[in-house]
Amino acid sequence: MSLKNKLKIAIIGATGYTGLDLVYSLSKHPKVKILYLCATKNLGKKISDFDSRITKKLPKLTSSNKINWNELDLIFLSLPNGEAQKIVNNTFSKYKHLKFIDLSADFRINNPKIYFKNYKKKHKARNLISKSLYSISEFVKKNINDYRIIANPGCYPTSIQIPLIPLLKKRLINEDSITIDSKSGYSGAGKNYKKKFTHKNFDQSAYAYGIKAHRHICEIDQEFYKFTKRKIKYTFNPHLLPTFRGILTSIYFKSKNKYSAFKIRKELIKYYKNSKFIKILKLNSQIGSGNVINTNNCEISICETREKNKIVIFSAIDNLVKGASGQAIQNMNILYKFSENLGLK
């Protein structure tokens, strides 16, 4: 593809953990040209000052107010919750050629009342929520092209839905017995993580939080219902680990009609047979997040337990890649009919 025909993009919120991963990967993408890197601080600085991995010469940091929207095809929004909706609201109707990939929660939740309850912000673009698509890449390939606003999912929900939704759709598990336990690196909380988490010995300890009312629960509820038309009962227990990136999710359940772990694994292999980034391990494989760090892969291990019909599924992703920037790029690739793994190998 010639320079003239490359996809022209801006990344707004370029200096956060997710933004930097976006810049790093997109700077190497053969069909993308980055025209703007936007931030609210450090304007005029080089993006390489914030991440030494970025070696390509790129535009210096600028305010989003300086953007010429007519120059662009696609905007990546890697901003705090409540900010992306303002930008989309101000540009969506005026610049009808523009598409948006939002990595915040602003367009994930269909009901603005539920969004307000969980994020304590009134939605500034309520009329555009119906024009957005919640997009775990593996589930949206058939209809993503009908939308200009792509809502990138949360990292915990990605690690949970990829292994569970195929099984829930086919009613293979007992829906009253699901316990979900997720452990994440602290980068998921953003650069201000020490203001959000103040527990003792942060750098040496694991920490359980948000067990009854973690804000990702509404997102998981919404998507479970969308695929099953049923209210799925489960408990969700998130934990923070003293490691920078990576998520390991453990999902415990009883199988339905005595489905064995072997049959559960076979079903997931069948469902994801054409998925480039979903890796189903051998039955009863030990698993950690180490293999998926800095990749867009989701590794899944289905394991038997001491109880005959009790099964545990482990799901590992990099929260900053498959849980954020990588999935955003995967969605872009699907949206523009590029090879799905372009720029993500």
Instruction: Output the DSSP codes for 90-146.
Output: HHTTT-TT-EEEE-SSTTT-S-HHHHHHHH----S-HHHHTTEEE--GGG-TTTGGG
Confidence tier at 2 by pLDDT (50, 70, 90): very low
What does each C-alpha distance from 241 to 16, 81, 236, 238, 300 come to in angstroms?
Answer: 20, 23, 16, 10, 20
Same domain, yes or no: 71 and 195: no
What's the pLDDT band for 190 if we cut at 50, 70, 90?
low
- Which structural domain range is residue 176 located in? 156-319
State pLDDT tens for residues 113-130.
999 999 999 999 999 999
Burial (CB count within 10 angstroms: exposed 0-12, middle 13-18, buried 19+), residue 154: buried
Residues 160 and 115 in one domain: no
Residue the block writes with tokens 């969506």: 92
**pTM exceeds cut of 0.85:** yes
Per the DSSP assignment, residues forming a β-bridge with 182 are: 238, 249
The pair of structure tokens assigned to 281 is 């391990």
Query: Any idea what the Cα angle at residue 261 is, between residues 287 and 229, rounded to 5°?
Result: 100
The alpha carbon torsion through 241, 155, 178, 303 (nearest 10 deg) reads -70
Residue 345 belongs to some domain of the structure: no
Is residue 220 within 8 A of residue 137, CB to CB? The reply is no
CA angle 237, 238, 239 (to 5 degrees): 125
Q: What is the rounded average pLDDT of the residues 88-111?
A: 97
Q: What is the CATH number of the domain that holds 94?
A: 3.40.50.720
Same domain, 245 and 330: no
Is residue 168 located within the same domain as residue 305? yes
Query: 180 and 96: one domain?
Result: no
Examine residue 343 and state whether it is found in any structural domain, yes or no: no
Q: How far apart are CA 180 and CA 154, in angstroms?
A: 15
Domain identity same for 229 and 284: yes
Do 10 and 86 have their domain in common?
yes
Determine if residue 171 is left, alpha or beta; phi over 0 gives left, psi from -120 to 50 gives alpha, anything else beta.
left
Strands (E), the chain: 7-12, 32-38, 61-62, 74-77, 99-102, 132-134, 149-151, 178-185, 207-208, 234-241, 247-254, 278-280, 298-304, 310-317
- Tell me: do 202 and 215 sit in the same domain: yes
41, 168: one domain: no
Indicate if 155 belongs to the active site: yes
Q: How many CB atoms lie within 10 A of CB 212?
A: 8
Find the distance separating the first CA and the last CA of the chain, reported in whole Å: 19
What's the confidence (pLDDT) of residue 177? 83
For residues 39 and 173, membership in a common domain is answered with no
Q: Strand order of the sheet with strand 7-12?
A: 61-62, 32-38, 7-12, 74-77, 99-102, 149-151, 132-134
Instruction: Extract the tokens encoding 51.
Output: 């991440």
Among 183-197, 268-282, 322-336, the range scoring the smallest mean pLDDT is 183-197
| Number of separate domains in the chain | 2
Identified catalytic residue from 155, 218, 298, 303:
155
In this structure, what CATH number is given to the domain that contains residue 228?
A: 3.30.360.10
Residue 273 has a CB neighbour count (10 Å cut-off) of: 9
Shared domain check, 112 and 15 = yes
Give alpha helix (H) positions in 145-288: 155-169, 193-196, 216-228, 261-271
Cα distance between residue 306 and residue 276, in whole Å = 33
Query: At a CB cut-off of 8 Å and minimum separation 6, what does 141 contact?
Result: 334
Alpha helices for 258-306 (secondary structure H): 261-271
Q: Which residues of 176-194 are buried (b: 16+ CB within 10 A; e: fewer)?
A: ebbebbbbbbbbbbeeeee
Residue 201 lies in a domain: yes
Are 272 and 278 within 8 A, CB to CB?
yes
pLDDT score of 191 more than 90: no
Q: What is the pLDDT of residues 49-82, one digit of tens each?
A: 999 999 999 999 999 999 999 999 999 999 999 9
Give the residue-averaged pLDDT of 199-224.
Answer: 86
Q: Is residue 116 part of a domain?
A: yes
Is 61 within a domain?
yes
Q: Are residues 91 and 191 in the same domain?
A: no
> Residue 3 pLDDT > 60, yes or no?
no
Of 342 and 1, the structure prediction assigns the larger pLDDT to 342
Size (the chain), residues = 345
